[in-house]
């Protein structure tokens, strides 16, 4: 039977070179969703997945009845878990787009330390690429652009703009009061 669901991603997991979880998101929606509801189930799945893939040279495997794509960059493993019937090219485009967007956002320095230091951008990029198990975006430039628009820099710029506007308003009010006081 052909899978006609939008829910293409079951999980996205990022682990360090020793198999420790850095970030993970499990999606439990869709017709064939296999839930790893407990932390213990998730850790068991991640440990077995890491043991199976750490010395593998392929990028796609069938594991635990699911299609798993993975990519190793510096000292981080990126895993995307999908349905067994899902198109591997679509899943690969999502994973590669996400990893390339992180590379752009982190100035081509994707490693464990930078991933943890910039966790907010990593999570935003993940949310831009996949939302509740639905693949939204595969273009790394679009993902990086959307994340940088919502990033800390834009919030700081907005706060600065508001502060400058408040200072200008206070200056105008003080000037008016001073002028009124001088006229009396």
Backbone angles phi, psi at 133, to 5 degrees: 95, 0
Q: Is the pLDDT of residue 158 over 50?
A: no
Question: Does position 78 have pLDDT exceeding 80, yes or no?
Answer: yes
| 27: CB partners within 8 A, 6+ apart | 7, 9, 10, 11, 33, 130, 132, 133
pLDDT band at 163 (very low <50, low <70, confident <90, very high): low
CATH class of 9-150: alpha beta
Which pLDDT belongs to residue 182?
73
Sequence-ordered list of residues with C-beta below 8 angstroms from that of 158, at least 6 positions apart, any chain: none
- Alpha-carbon distances, residue 144 vs 22, 98, 121, 128, 131 (angstroms): 20, 9, 9, 9, 16
pLDDT of residue 79: 92
In this prediction the pTM is: 0.73
Rounded mean pLDDT of 17-46?
A: 78
- Could you tell me the two tokens for 166? 């408040």
Mean pLDDT, residues 100-122 taken together: 85
List beta partners, residue 77: 15, 72
Does residue 147 contact residue 105 with C-beta atoms inside 8 Å?
yes
Query: What pLDDT, on the 0 to 100 scale, is given for residue 184?
Result: 64
3-state SS assignment for residue 109: coil
């Amino acid at each position: 039977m052909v899978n006609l669901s939008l829910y293409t991603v079951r999980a996205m997991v990022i682990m360090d070179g020793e198999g420790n979880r850095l970030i993970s998101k499990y999606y439990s929606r869709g017709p064939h969703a296999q839930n790893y509801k407990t932390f213990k189930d998730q850790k068991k799945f991640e440990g077995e997945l890491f043991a199976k893939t750490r010395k593998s040279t392929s990028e796609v495997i069938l594991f635990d009845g699911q299609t798993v794509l993975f990519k190793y960059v510096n000292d981080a493993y990126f895993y995307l878990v999908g349905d067994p019937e899902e198109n591997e090219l679509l899943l690969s485009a999502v994973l590669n787009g996400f990893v390339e967007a992180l590379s752009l956002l982190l100035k081509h320095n994707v490693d464990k330390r930078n991933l943890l230091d910039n966790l907010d951008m990593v999570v935003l990029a993940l949310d831009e690429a996949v939302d509740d198990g639905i693949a939204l975006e595969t273009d790394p430039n679009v993902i990086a652009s959307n994340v940088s628009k919502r990033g800390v820099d834009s919030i700081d710029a907005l706060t600065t703009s508001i502060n400058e506007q408040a200072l200008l308003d206070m200056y105008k009010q003080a000037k008016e009061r001073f002028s009124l006081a001088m006229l009396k």
